[in-house]
Structure 1
Amino acid sequence: MLKPFVFFLLFIYFIYFKINMSQACLYSVIIPTYNEKENIPYVVNMIVNELKGKDINFEIIVVDDNSTDNTSSVYKQLQQIFNEEKLLLIERKGKYGIGSAYMDALKIVSGDFVVIMDADLSHHPKYIYDFIKRQKETNCDIVIGTRYNKKGGVSGWGFKRILVSTVANFLAQFLLFIKLTDLTGSFRLYKTEVLKEVIQKVDGKGYVFQMEIIVRAIKLGKIIEEVGYIFTERLFGKSKLSPNEIYKYILGLLKLFWTC
């Protein structure tokens, strides 16, 4: 009688182990920051509430580029407040840019999927679940959040900013023969291994980075889906987009036109 009971206990343990393994951290949310101390408490709280409320296993990785407003100190306080969650911090000694921020974060991610988003509240965490659903439905490699399909939109931008974004996307679509509607946004979900593969082939930095990584992914045959979302202008702080970034974007776009 003892053997069947032992086997039964082993079976229960095996099922319990499998369930817990399946519930391990699957989604790594990467947030690059520079002078976002006012925004970071809100965005972290919103991510935690949204994903925990939907029983999604996650970790948050903030990569701070030596913010002068002590963003990293604020995030360390959040680590204490949300001590049951996995909140990780990478502190860098300079302003090295968004591409290298993702590369540094990829060294420590534990998820099978990576979500990238901004810290300025322009990307509402409620859309992360929509990205996850679309990826599960299609088994695609990348889900892009788009501001420019029927379900997307922009709130709080002036005419000049809308014009810059629209023209930047149009030029990329026209010159590179890409049908995706939003190549310059930074709200996306990747399979972790796909992001690790593609990012190694990206040369551009800053504003051009987001466009180039999608171009490289397409050239590698990756499957990409789009999910519409409403982009909202930041509540605190100033936009990081400068005339120099626009100039670099144009140069990067022309380089891709000639080489891809």
Structure 2
Amino acid sequence: MVTADKRRSGKGDVEGGDKYSVLLPTYNERENLPLIVWLLVKYFGESGYLYEIIIIDDGSPDGTLEVAKQLEKIYGSDKILLRPRAKKLGLGTAYVHGMQHATGNFVIIMDADLSHHPKFIPEFIRKQKEGNFDVVSGTRYAGNGGVYGWDLKRKVISRGANFITQVLLRPGASDLTGSFRLYRKEVLQKLVERCVSKGYVFQMEMIVRARQLNYSIGEVPISFVDRVYGESKLGGNEIVSFLKGLLTLFATT
């Protein structure tokens, strides 16, 4: 429902023409997808902002795409856009693929495994409007942000990776490895063009490149909750790739 205040507030709200494209890359998320989509529809509906949800499934063998097709029928093809790919091609290319189909002037990237709660999206939008930021990033490491459901090992790895990144790259943001963000679409396009990383390093490089290009970055504290259904995709190979990517960024920025 759009309140009278929202209707009067002009630029940035429904009558101001802003639209938010949510990019949801998926791989084996058939249990999580219905709930994350329902929550997105709920919070966008309550806030009154124009939106679309772009689901980029990378050939999930568990039937994620079939679930997405059912959601498209339920919520409508104007709200749920299916842009699948034949196989798993990586997170960075999934965003590029989704962005090509985004009609919003702002793009939100988030995980589909319920670790990022859509209730924070209205806060991202408010923050962006308050500071006219180019990027708004969710942070687990500032304010009342936090991580829930991780064992000590994963917390140490995440904190350690973030600390090393801060020391080496001095990016001016408190959470480099997070992947819950809002971008101006044209800013996201420019950043993606410059990024060379794949996988988990991609998120970190996006913030580093944003600072290089003097884009403004706001932060919103978020609660990160470990996935309820399915298996984490973070393993030893990803950690090695992260360290290699970090050193590459250090050498080239």
Q: Which amino acid aligns with 2:205?
A: E
**In 2, distance between residues paired with 1:173 and 1:228?**
18
Q: Which residue of the other structure, out of 26, 36, 45, is the alignment partner of 1:43? A: 36
Determine if contact 1:64/1:71 at 8 Å carries over to the other structure. Answer: yes
Residue 257 of structure 1: how far off its partner (Å):
0.7
Determine if contact 1:25/1:110 at 8 Å carries over to the other structure. Answer: no
Does the alignment pair 1:240 with 2:233? yes
Does the alignment pair 1:201 with 2:194? yes
Q: Summarize the alignment of residues 101-140 of structure 1 with structure 2, pairs less than 5 Å apart.
A: 101-140=94-133
Q: Which amino acid aligns with 2:145?
A: G
Does the alignment pair 1:230 with 2:217? no
Residue 85 of structure 1: how far off its partner (Å):
4.8
Q: Summarize the alignment of residues 51-200 of structure 1 with structure 2, pairs less than 5 Å apart.
A: 51-83=44-76, 85-200=78-193
Q: 1:254 to 1:60 in 2, by over 3 A?
A: same
Q: TM-score, normalized by length of structure 2?
A: 0.93
Q: Which runs of 5+ in 1 are unaligned?
A: 1-17
* CA deviation map 1:65-90 (0-9, x unaligned): 10010101101000111127511011
Q: Which residue of the other structure, out of 208, 215, 218, is the alignment partner of 2:211? A: 218
Residue 247 of structure 1: how far off its partner (Å):
0.6
DSSP 3-state at the match of 1:179: coil
Residue 23 of structure 1: how far off its partner (Å):
6.1
* CA deviation map 1:12-47 (0-9, x unaligned): xxxxxx9x9836561000010000000000000000
Question: Equivalent residue for 2:26?
Answer: 33
Percent identity over the alignment?
50
RMSD: 1.6
Residue 54 of structure 1: how far off its partner (Å):
1.1
Q: 1:91 to 1:251 in 2, by over 3 A?
A: same
Q: TM-score, normalized by length of structure 1?
A: 0.90
**In 2, distance between residues paired with 1:228 and 1:205?**
25
* CA deviation map 1:94-126 (0-9, x unaligned): 110110000001111000100000000010000
Structure 1 range deviating more: 177-186 or 101-110: 177-186
Q: Which 4+ stretches in 1 moved above 2 angstroms?
A: 20-25
Structure 1 range deviating more: 178-187 or 79-88: 79-88
Q: Which has the larger radius of gyration?
A: 1
